[in-house]
A and B are shown apart, each in its own frame.
Chain A
Amino acid sequence: MSVVRAAARRGVIDALPLFVPAIPFGLVIGLAITNTGMNPFVGWSGSWLIFGGAAQLTLITLLGGGVAVAAAVGTALVVNARHLMYSAALAPTFQRQPRWFRWFGPYLLVDQLFALATIRLEDEPDSFRTYYLAAGALFWILWSVVVAVGLLLGPVVPEEWNLEFAIPILFIGLLVLGIEHWPELVAALVGAGVTYLAAGLPSRTGLLVGAFVGMIAGFVAERIRRE
Chain B
Amino acid sequence: MSDFLATAVVGLGTYLFRAVFIVVLARRRIPDVVLVALKYVAPAVLGALIVALLTDSEGNVEIGVPEVAAFVAGGFIAHRTRSHVWTLVVGMAVYWVTLALI
Contacts from A to B (Cβ < 8 Å): 20-25, 28, 38-39, 42-43, 45-46, 49-52, 55-56, 58-59, 61-63, 65-67, 69, 72-73, 75-88, 90-92, 94-95, 102-103, 105-107, 109, 161-163, 165-179, 183-185, 187-196, 199-201, 204, 206-208, 210-215, 217-219, 222
Contacts and interface: CB of A to CB of B under 8 A. Distances in A.
Given A24-B88, A61-B53, A169-B74, A214 B47 contact: yes
Contacts of B7: 42, 45-46, 49-50, 56, 59
B44 A106 contact: no
B19 interface: yes
Contacts, number: 282
Those 5 A-B pairs whose CB atoms lie nearest each other, nearest first = A214-B44, A218-B40, A191-B47, A49-B11, A188-B47
A15 B23 CA distance: 25
B26 interface: yes
B40 A169 contact: no
Contact of B47 (A21, A28, A50, A192): A192
Interface centre among A45, A65, A195 (most CB of B within 10 A): A195
Contacts of A168: 49-50, 53-54, 67, 71
Contacts of A83: 14, 17-18
Given A59-B6, A94-B22, A184-B39, A171 B44 contact: no
Interface in B4-60: 4, 6-11, 13-15, 17-23, 25-26, 29-30, 35-55, 57, 59-60
Contact of B13 (A21, A80, A188, A196): A80
A43 B61 CA distance: 26
A207 to B, nearest CB: 4
Identify whether the interface residues of A are mostly helix, strand, loop, or mixed: helix
Nearest to A94: B22
B60 A191 contact: no
Given A80-B17, A85-B38, A162 B55 contact: no
Interface of B: 2-4, 6-11, 13-15, 17-23, 25-26, 29-30, 35-55, 57, 59-61, 67, 70-71, 74-75, 78-79, 82-85, 87-88, 91-92, 95-96, 99
A175 B22 contact: no
Nearest to A179: B43
Contact of B44 (A63, A196, A215): A215
Contact of A211 (B13, B48, B71, B75): B48
28 contacts: A20-B85, A39-B3, A45-B7, A59-B7, A77-B13, A77-B14, A80-B14, A81-B41, A84-B17, A84-B21, A85-B30, A91-B22, A107-B19, A161-B96, A165-B70, A168-B50, A169-B74, A171-B46, A173-B74, A176-B79, A176-B87, A177-B82, A193-B47, A195-B47, A199-B51, A207-B51, A214-B40, A219-B37
A50 B10 contact: yes
A105 B18 CA distance: 9
